[in-house]
Structure 1
Amino acid sequence: DLPTFRFPTKSLELTKIRIQGATELCNAGEQPFVGKVDLREQNIVDIEELVELCTRMEEACSGFTRFGFCQILDATDNFSEKMIVGWGGFGKVYKGQLPGGLNVAIKRADEHAAMLEVNSELQLAKLQHANVIRLLGWCIHGKERILVYEFMQNGSLDRYLCDRTKGPMLNWSKRFKIITGLTEGIVYLHKHSMFWLVHRDLKPHNVLLDCNMLPKIADFGSARALSSELAEERTSRVVGTSGYKAPEYASRGVYSMKTDVFSFGVLVLVIISGRKNTILDKRGVGDLVRDAWRMWKDQKLHELVDPLLGDGYEVSEITKCAQVALLCAQEDPTDRPTMTDVAAMLNSESISLPMEPKQPAALIHGCAERDTTSTYVSQSSRTIDITITSSAPMSTRVRIILDPEV
């Protein structure tokens, strides 16, 4: 087992650690964070550059077109409040109808929205998948920045999961199709789009349902393209939603495809249970993940199932989905499967899965401790990376290099 270090709750000032059996000293300050700072977050373009980008994308992407501002005003009844259907990552979303009768969703960026968020959302123009929302066009007029999407008449998934009156509309068959549809959509983003795209904000609010209650992943304002499917990058600007953010991303800004895998795991548990994943301490996995692991271990998953489902579900499907979700929601990203693995497990006819999820650290150490240590540990070759966090707003990452015992 790896050694456990405990520190007072004041800000950490650790610089050196000595490990028994090692002859080297490790200077924490000399070791860089894993991944590199995402410099694209500093690249804020102006309106003219954004128009140029949209124009180039219009020429390159079939089905992506420019709308006139008068068309947008007519479609939304001059941005009438009665046409508002929700809020996206950077602005209000209106329902609109084009002259041909096509219903669309029109997202109007508010004046404080970062240009980067609009740029990220534009990546959708390059994507075409049944489980990813389609970006139809754009409009820039003065300071107005507007994007036009296909309209999803049943709104977002969260409207059903936490609503006692709408919840019964989602029987288990529909919930299972939502889980498998999301799996296929994320596999596409991670492997089969023109780049390795990590969404970074998967949650029920960003899953829209079409007329058949099938899911489409939406709101790509936080999405980032990676340099490879194994890439791990770092940002100082952590976005996303508490309860769905992976621990390494929430605490250190490190993100990869495994960041989406964690969020997907929590999302599946929410779909099964109808519960929220409340974060009770800084360890970061949430009470829903902990409860689900206990129920899975004790073979009491029926206690996890949303009461609104009654007895109308397949026990084998619930068991498989819950186990897959717990594998995805493990704290160490190296323990999590890829989304391709997830798809294979969900499509497998076998009832039992080859892997078992590890016990959440909070259940091992107790979640009442104010200080937590070793919240993320990954090991390869002869190095161990450890993140040490405390209840103070600071964390330190160290790398310990182990030499053979003399």
Structure 2
Amino acid sequence: MAGPNKRGSCKFNIYISEHSLTRCILNWFFFVLLLRNGSSTSAPDVEGEALIDLLKVLNNSHHKITDWNDFYVSPCSGWSHVLCLSGHVKYLTLGSNGFSGTLSPVICKLKFLNSLKLQDNNLSGELPDCLSSLVNLQTLDLSHNKFSGSIPSSWAQLSNLKHLDLSENDLSGTIPSQLFSARTFNFTGTNLECGARFQKPCDSGSSLEVAARKSKVELVMIAASCGAFFLLLLGAAFTYRRHQLHKFKNEIFVDVAGEDEGKFSFGQVKRFSWREIQIATNNFSESNIIGQGGFGKVYKGKLMDNTKVAVKRLTDYHNPGGEAAFLREVQLISVAVHKNLLRLIGFCTTASERILVYPYMKNLSVAYCLRDLKPGQERLDWPRRKKIAFGTAHGLEYLHEHCNPKIIHRDLKAANILLDDNFEAVLGDFGLARLVDAKLTHVTTQVRGTMGHIAPEYLSTGKSSEKTDVFGYGITLLELMTGQRAIDFSRLEEEEDVLLVDHIKKLLKEKRLHDIVDNNLKAYDPKEVEMIVQVALLCSQNVAEERPRMAEVVKMLQGVGLNERWAEWETHEEVRNQELQLSFMKHRLAWMDESMDEQEAMQLSAAR
């Protein structure tokens, strides 16, 4: 028996068979094949050492990254959060990982870096001057940290920079004018010299729409995805070959640390073996089922390292819908990284199975906490509901505004908003999401979603856009405030509207705010409730064009621009009601005229 040695030693398994040597040679051949395709012979060692040094300075105290070490020959052999092309690190995605250190100049050793994302952490210190040497850098996102000082003047040399976000940092001073030539930039929430006073915009505003056009970087990403998928198929083929060897040679096999295919990762996503998944879920025990949807069941599980996971076992994967759902989830979630989006840990494929592995969410979903809690379990108080409203909005804003191409969820509802240990909203279930070009409206032959949450234009035409998600978000906010379902036929017994949105409009018009709030809420701020209900109704308007974008929704939740928008809505709503009443009166008069004509005709007929 031999364990893994540094720098690529063969990882032996115990084989009680005369073919042990042959099997080890096959393992070694496959390992060398991966290294030849995933790394070069010189630079990756330098890049790997640089990344390990970088991680130490970032302060990985939450241990979000555990697979960056010398046991892997290079970062291109499967390190999480890293994407390589031609044997070099090109994309580094480290957003929302709880880092609290600094950004070390060692980052500048990654000479071929195209994209660096460190948003939504707690990093401090000054911005490294040496970043100007990364001439290939096209995307730089350091937003929502605590960086201080000024922007180094040398950054003007970043001539290929297309997307720059330094918002929400303690930065001050002037901005190199060359940085304003980036396709998208954002310096809001800083003390940098920009805005009307300095005659320079603080963000690129409408040019965010232009950013959705496919750039050369995106084409490279697509090529990388195709390459990764090819490598996945290669691994599957090799796994199948190993299975056949076991079958025909009838040898006894003892695995020391799990099958080899479970040890290779693609970017941030790990590939698990079928046996690892069986062990984790107790062979898919019915007692471990924690959810069920249109694409399969979800099981609670525990990995070999005691990590709790949620295992989604897709059904009917061989049908177009099931297969497409699997490919979409792997592709979408692996590149969409945000603290309010569910992270995909890994996946498993066999000839008859498609499995997705997510972190286990202790508090399950918003829907569960609203309606299915067991006695003694914690209920959602008002601060938690506000936190969920904001977190979900931030997650959707990221999908719509910061993913390129943008991602549309298409099934936003309380059941698809999960809650972590701290009741932080985590938007999950991207099985219905679609990548769409920013200038195109996606057309599908089959409407997906949940009745009551589906936008009218999507239901009638099959056309979806980010505004369909905004509608679903509005309905979800109403669920969050009321604890009720989007459609409830029991309200008919009380002569109330079946649709929750119409029911709320009526209560709000009658100033019955106390009847809107969930009976389980014992303490709340009436002004905050009214504000969130107003945002919900603005989001759930019937006309898609009249709904706000999620970036606007986030601002309105903070009180920015809500009063003006709400006053405009009330005016339009009054006009609509008047038009409805006028239409009703016309129909009633027409009906009365027809009735009188019929009575006169009957009287004349009787007289004859």
Q: TM-score, with normalisation over the residues of structure 2?
A: 0.48
Partner of 1:52: 230
2:549 equivalent among 319, 328, 338: 338
2:338 counterpart of 1:129: yes
Partner of 2:452: 243
Partner of 1:29: none
Partner of 1:305: 517
2:566 counterpart of 1:355: yes
**Match of 2:290, SS?**
strand
Partner of 2:326: 118
How much has 1:111 moved relative to structure 2?
Answer: 2.7
How much has 1:53 moved relative to structure 2?
Answer: 7.6
Partner of 1:156: 365
Q: Distance in 2 between matches of 1:328 and 1:150?
A: 30
1:294 equivalent among 503, 506, 517: 506
Partner of 1:254: 463
Check conservation: 1:272, 1:306, Cα contact below 8 A.
yes
**Match of 2:364, SS?**
coil
Q: Distance in 1 between matches of 2:401 and 2:326?
A: 23
Partner of 2:355: 146
Partner of 2:160: none
In the alignment, structure 1 segments of 5+ residues that lack a partner are 1-48, 370-406
1:164–1:90 Cα change, 3 Å:
closer
Q: Distance in 1 between matches of 2:366 and 2:385?
A: 10
**Match of 1:92, SS?**
strand
Check conservation: 2:373, 2:379, Cα contact below 8 A.
no
In the alignment, structure 2 segments of 5+ residues that lack a partner are 1-226, 235-262, 490-496, 585-608
Partner of 1:324: 535
Check conservation: 2:412, 2:453, Cα contact below 8 A.
yes
1:190 equivalent among 400, 403, 406: 400
How much has 1:215 moved relative to structure 2?
Answer: 1.0
Check conservation: 1:66, 1:137, Cα contact below 8 A.
yes
Check conservation: 2:314, 2:353, Cα contact below 8 A.
yes
1:268 equivalent among 474, 477, 500: 477
Partner of 1:278: 487
Partner amino acid for 1:156? S
How much has 1:235 moved relative to structure 2?
Answer: 1.4
How much has 1:163 moved relative to structure 2?
Answer: 3.6
2:302 counterpart of 1:97: yes
**Match of 1:236, SS?**
coil
How much has 1:277 moved relative to structure 2?
Answer: 1.6
Partner amino acid for 2:359? E
Q: Distance in 2 between matches of 1:145 and 1:50?
A: 17
Check conservation: 2:410, 2:449, Cα contact below 8 A.
yes
Spell out, residue by residue over 1:21-67, the C-alpha distance to the aligned partner (whole angstroms, 9 max, x if none). Answer: xxxxxxxxxxxxxxxxxxxxxxxxxxxx99638569x9995321111
Check conservation: 2:301, 2:309, Cα contact below 8 A.
yes
Paired residues, number: 313
Partner amino acid for 1:134? R
Spell out, residue by residue over 1:93-126, the C-alpha distance to the aligned partner (whole angstroms, 9 max, x if none). Answer: 1111111110111111113552111122121111
Q: Distance in 1 between matches of 2:443 and 2:546?
A: 19
Spell out, residue by residue over 1:66-86, the C-alpha distance to the aligned partner (whole angstroms, 9 max, x if none). Answer: 111111111111111111111
Partner amino acid for 2:556? M
1:63 equivalent among 268, 272, 275: 268
Partner amino acid for 2:230? E
Partner of 1:11: none
Check conservation: 1:161, 1:274, Cα contact below 8 A.
yes
Partner of 2:209: none
Check conservation: 2:370, 2:379, Cα contact below 8 A.
no
1:254–1:190 Cα change, 3 Å:
same
Check conservation: 2:363, 2:369, Cα contact below 8 A.
no
**Match of 2:542, SS?**
coil
Partner amino acid for 2:457? E
* More moved, 96-105 vs 84-93: 84-93
Higher relative contact order (CA 8 A, sep 6+): 1
1:177 equivalent among 369, 387, 396: 387
What fraction of aligned residue pairs are identical, expressed as a percent? 36
Check conservation: 1:293, 1:359, Cα contact below 8 A.
no
How much has 1:348 moved relative to structure 2?
Answer: 2.3
Partner amino acid for 2:477? V
Q: TM-score, with normalisation over the residues of structure 1?
A: 0.71
1:164–1:353 Cα change, 3 Å:
farther
1:339–1:308 Cα change, 3 Å:
same
Partner amino acid for 2:418? L
2:209 counterpart of 1:209: no
- Larger Cα-atom Rg: 2
**Match of 2:395, SS?**
helix
Check conservation: 1:76, 1:96, Cα contact below 8 A.
yes
Check conservation: 1:266, 1:329, Cα contact below 8 A.
yes
Q: Distance in 2 between matches of 1:350 and 1:51?
A: 45
**Match of 1:132, SS?**
coil
Partner of 2:24: none
Q: Distance in 2 between matches of 1:337 and 1:346?
A: 12
Spell out, residue by residue over 1:310-361, the C-alpha distance to the aligned partner (whole angstroms, 9 max, x if none). Answer: 3x11111101100000000000000100000000011126883533435397
Check conservation: 2:482, 2:516, Cα contact below 8 A.
yes
Q: Distance in 2 between matches of 1:195 and 1:53?
A: 24
1:102–1:164 Cα change, 3 Å:
closer
**Match of 2:357, SS?**
strand
Q: Distance in 1 between matches of 2:353 and 2:373?
A: 38
Check conservation: 1:64, 1:137, Cα contact below 8 A.
yes
2:286 equivalent among 63, 81, 90: 81
Structure with the higher fraction of residues in strand conformation: 1
**Match of 1:149, SS?**
strand
Partner amino acid for 1:119? L
Check conservation: 1:153, 1:210, Cα contact below 8 A.
yes
How much has 1:195 moved relative to structure 2?
Answer: 2.2
RMSD: 3.0
Partner amino acid for 1:207? I
**Match of 1:355, SS?**
helix
How much has 1:233 moved relative to structure 2?
Answer: 2.4
1:134–1:286 Cα change, 3 Å:
farther
